[in-house]
Structures are given as C-alpha cells and as structure tokens.
Structure 1
Amino acid sequence: MRFTPNLLLVASLLASRASASSFTFIQPNTDRLKCLTAPGFYNGARLTFSDCMGGQEFQNIDTESVPGRLSMANGTMCFDVVDGIKSNQTAIQLWECADGNINQMWEFLPTGQWAVAKWKGQDMCMCSNVTSGADGNVTIFSYQAKLYLSSLWKAGFEAHVLATRSGAFT
C-alpha cells in the first residue's frame, strides 16, 4: 500500500462517556466507513483504519483523561510513536501509558473547526494511508505547510475545545 499524504482525519464525538473521559472515534475523510482501530490492547499493537463497528471498544479513543494523551482501554494504553523514531511513516502503536513518556504526548493545534494532531515537541503529525474501500495504517509524517491539510482532525465539539482539553496550551 502506497502512502498518500492527502488525507484529512476526522474525529467524531461518540455519545458514550465513562467516568470523566470522553470517547471519540476517528475516521479518514476518504472513507467514512473506516475508523481508527486497535487489533487489541497490548504493547506494540499497531493502529490501523478498518471498518467502523459502532462503539466497539477497539475504536473508542479517550481524549480527556490525561492532557496531551490519546489513549484506549480505559486510559491504560496510549498512542505511542514506535521507538520514538522521528521519521516519515514511523508507525503509531499502543503502549502502556507512562507519565513523562514523550513518545506518547500529542497536541491538537486548532485551525477554526479543525485541529492538527501533532507529536508534541516534534515537527511530526499523525497521518494515514487510507484509500477508499481499503484499510490503512496510522503513521507520523513531517509537519510541513504542504502536508498541513493531510492531518486535520475534526471532533464533535469545536477544535479549540479539543485543543484545550488535550493540553495543547499547557
């Protein structure tokens, strides 16, 4: 599968809430039937896009439990850049959440009703290679002006609220 950087990632607020957390699901704009999915909750599980399953726990993403983190499995498994490798197309995996782990810190930069999911402190953002009808991988890619639109996320609430809740301004 060839990497296609011209994708918008869209996050929609899921109606469910657990404790103080808010769960979202994330979809690429090229195929609204695909959702960001974890194959399971274990260290090294590579995030992909696959068919949406309507509230399946492997597609629920917690954006609020800890500022700057994206997590699953009740906040125990975090989105993690594999080995902290700062290189285009490095995969994003689940890894046990650890305070201070810079490979697990994300910020959402608001752009009106959209936000960019950027690896905190790095010039890399979250991207996907989804094409219509096909599953795809979730990776990081260089955060450059020409790729800016390929990494936008949208939530069921305004992007500036998502950015504030994610710790982008802390």
Structure 2
Amino acid sequence: METPLALILFLASTFLVFSVNAQDPPFASSNTDGAAVVIEMCSAPTAANSWVVPNGNSAAGSLQIFGNMCLDVTNGVDADGTRLQIWTCASGNTNQLWEPEFGSVGNIFWVGMNKCVDLTNGNTTNGNQLQVWDCNTSNPNQIWGV
C-alpha cells in the first residue's frame, strides 16, 4: 500500500490533510516570488509544506504559505501544463484564487477556469513541479482529500 501524499493546511487552528496516492507532500522550494511548488520528501509539517486557507472551507480564496505567499499559476497562463509557483499574495489576483473541495476527496479548482491542481504526469519523484490541467474528477493526479 502506498503512503498518501499529504498537503497540510491550517484552517484557523484545525489541520486538514489532503491526500492522493503518492509518498510526498507539495512543498514550496523557497520563500521567494517564483519559487516552484514541487513534490518533496518530508517527515513532518514545516513552513514549506503547510498551507493556510484564510477564507475557510466554504469559499474560494488564496492558499497561503510562509504568511504572505500564495499558490500562483505562472503568469496566469490558462493552458494545460502551466506550472505552479508561489508569489506574494495580492488581493484580487486571479492567478491566486482557488476553490478546494472539502469534506471528501476532490479537486482543487482554479477559480474561473476549467483547470485544477495536477500532479505532473503522476510522477512522485522529489522536485516534480505541480501544474494546472483541465479538471477531471476521475484523474488520480488531481484527486485530493481531507
């Protein structure tokens, strides 16, 4: 049995664990604009793999890390394979608006687009950068769960 991929999110003081069939969590490669969001082996939550959902679990909003950095679609390009990065959070930045499905397994939707967070090629190798891809509720590369 494979170890699930875990993305630790803080919701107020509650930890939420998103999982998919892989071994390692999404990880911000550094705390700088343009840093890649990759799969990286870890054994515990850290600042680089702990994500905050400021709007709670019922509304679209940013997914934050390091306090002021957000999950961001590189240059806002609406194309399959566009890589994910972190960027300084900016109110109203559509590159940074996400709507996760909470309460069960599901996708993390890029608001206003038919794109979802996607594990590139299903590859769980350290350093594999996450991307956006057309949403498909049965694609295991896009299934995240609480």
CA positional deviation for 1:35? 1.2
Greater Cα offset, 59-68 or 114-123: 59-68
Question: Could you tell me how far apart the structure 2 residues matched to 1:12 and 1:103 are?
Answer: 20
Match of 1:125 in 2: 116
**Native 8 Å contact 1:61 1:71 kept in 2:** yes
User: Aligned with 1:94: secondary structure?
Assistant: strand
Q: Which has the higher contact order (CA 8 A, sep 6+)?
A: 1
Q: Spell out the pairing of 1:93-132 with structure 2 (5 A cutoff).
A: 93-109=85-101, 113-129=104-120, 130-132=122-124
**Native 8 Å contact 2:109 2:117 kept in 1:** yes
Question: Could you tell me how far apart the structure 1 residues matched to 2:83 and 2:107 are?
Answer: 17
TM-score (norm 2): 0.79
CA positional deviation for 1:65? 5.3
CA positional deviation for 1:56? 1.6
1:62 aligns with 2:55: no
Distance change in 2, residues 1:26/1:114 (3 Å): closer
**Native 8 Å contact 1:11 1:24 kept in 2:** no
Counterpart residue type for residue 38 of structure 1? A
CA positional deviation for 1:143? 1.4
CA RMSD in angstroms, aligned pairs only = 2.7
Distance change in 2, residues 1:28/1:49 (3 Å): farther
Give unpaired runs (5+ residues) of structure 2: none
Q: Percent identity?
A: 24
CA positional deviation for 1:55? 1.8
Structure 1 stretches of 4+ moved >3 Å: 9-14, 20-28, 144-147
Distance change in 2, residues 1:35/1:145 (3 Å): closer
Answer 1 or 2: which has greater strand percent: 1
**Per-residue deviation, residues 97-139 of structure 1 (Å, max 9, x unmatched):** 00000000001235x621210100100000013435x222100
Aligned pair partner of 2:36 in 35, 41, 46 = 46
Give unpaired runs (5+ residues) of structure 1: 1-8, 156-170
**Per-residue deviation, residues 19-70 of structure 1 (Å, max 9, x unmatched):** x455556554122xx1111111110001000101412211111123575110
Q: Spell out the pairing of 1:25-44 with structure 2 (5 A cutoff).
A: 26-31=18-23, 34-44=24-34
Answer 1 or 2: which has greater helix percent: 1
